[in-house]
Amino acid sequence: MTKNELKMWLASLPKVELHLHIEGSLEPELMMALAEKHQVELPYGNIQEVKQAYNFENLQSFLDLYYFGASVLQDEDDFYQLMWHYLLKCKQDNVVHAEIMFDPQTHTQRGIGFEIFMAGFKRAMQQAEQEWGQSSLLIMSFLRHLSEASAIETLQAAKPYLEDICAVGLDSGELGNPPEKFVQVFEMAKSLGLKRVAHAGEEGPPEYVWGAINSLDVQRVDHGVRSIEDPKLIEYLKQSQLPLTVCPLSNTKLKVFDHMEQHNILVLLELGLMVTINADDPSYFGGYLNDNYFAVIDHLAIEQHHLLQLVTNSFNASFMSTALKVEWLSQLKGNE
Ligand code: ADE
Ligand code: ZN
């Protein structure tokens, strides 16, 4: 198959997205419209200028713009619009199931409570489910640059909404904020029946991946690409099949790898790890899920069987019910 044929085939497959920050799907058009609606002053004159600002040196330089961009999200309808636009992209990209992260502290710190964003998210998710059978779950992520006490307060505030939240996560600036800082809140989340994921090994060293595994008891590691530096960790990830949610365009945009040719996802896959492809913050990093697959098709020696394995992994690594998994995996088998 040519690269173009591979892309068309890939686009037609049902897929799952497991690492997506809903605040990172805020497109410049919606950001500008909401800024006007709420009279928020943005340092950008037009959409072109917003896009030009998206040139990042590292994770922190992105996070500064990302938290600032989120300040235009204020009422229930803003959060509905944000979620709705992302779910429409899922439909377009044939993402049949998405596990979507949100950062409550980014909003509660500005006086916007769970009742506002949860209502907007839920309305969009239910509408997409009714209109085209979109399946989606929510992951509540704690900001690791804030204290554990703040994360615990957030978990308490989320208690009336736990029916609509499947897992907790850990994101924001990784270096200097190791997983061990959040042991207590992750234990509390586990005892409330929540699943657990954490960003680790994006900019942080392999020790942070071990920390997420041993101290937070995670069911998936977000990113995890720096695991390659520790052979014992690679062996553990291979044996345990603990999934890594890898985000190729994010990793090159944030200079975890200088060029896509240097990305290690294919190496990790060939070593037998349970790796998946995801978009992270698509509006900031230049593409949604299919674009991330296309980027690795363009720049790595990836073949059809690798792609099928990555898509199969995305279903296996998800928190969807076993019955649904079996159904989708049998559909996928028909595409070999
Ligand atoms: N928040 C949104 N995207 C993130 C990323 N790639 N790493 C850490 N925190 C994030
Ligand atoms: Zn992320």
Say if residues 166 and 187 touch (Cβ distance below 8 Å).
Answer: no
Lookup: tokens for 77: 């309808």
The ligand minimizing its distance to the Cα of 62 is 1
Domains of the chain: 3-328 (3.20.20.140)
Percent of the residues in the chain that have a pLDDT greater than 90, as a whole number = 98
Q: Which ligand is nearest to the CA of 202?
A: 1
pLDDT at 316 over 90: yes
pLDDT at residue 123, as a whole number: 98
Given a cut of 90, whether residue 305 has pLDDT beyond it is yes
Q: Which of 196, 198, 273, 278 is closest to 242 using CA atoms?
A: 273
Query: Using a 6 Å cutoff on CB, does residue 199 contact ligand 1?
Result: yes
For the residues 262-283, what does the mean pLDDT come to?
Answer: 98
Q: Is the pLDDT of residue 235 over 80?
A: yes
Q: For the chain, what is the mean pLDDT?
A: 97
pLDDT digits over 52-80, tens only?
Answer: 999 999 999 999 999 999 999 999 999 99
Partners of 280 in the β-ladder? 20
pLDDT over threshold 90, residue 233: yes
Give every strand in the sheet of 220-223, ordered side by side. 15-21, 95-102, 135-143, 167-171, 195-200, 220-223, 244-246, 275-277
pLDDT tens digits for 184-220?
Answer: 999 999 999 999 999 999 999 999 999 999 999 999 9
pLDDT, average across residues 163-191: 98
- Label residue 109 exposed, middle or buried (CB < 10 Å: 0-12, 13-18, 19+): middle
Q: If you count them, how many residues does the chain have?
A: 336
Q: Which atom of ligand 1 is nearest to the CA of 202?
A: 7
Residue 328 C-alpha to ligand 2 middle, in angstroms? 25
pTM over 0.95: yes
Q: Which of 203, 309, 189, 185 is nearest to 247 (CA)?
A: 203
Q: Is 203 a catalytic residue?
A: no
pLDDT of residue 80: 99
Strand-pair category, 275-277 with 244-246: parallel
Residue 335 has pLDDT above 80, yes or no: no
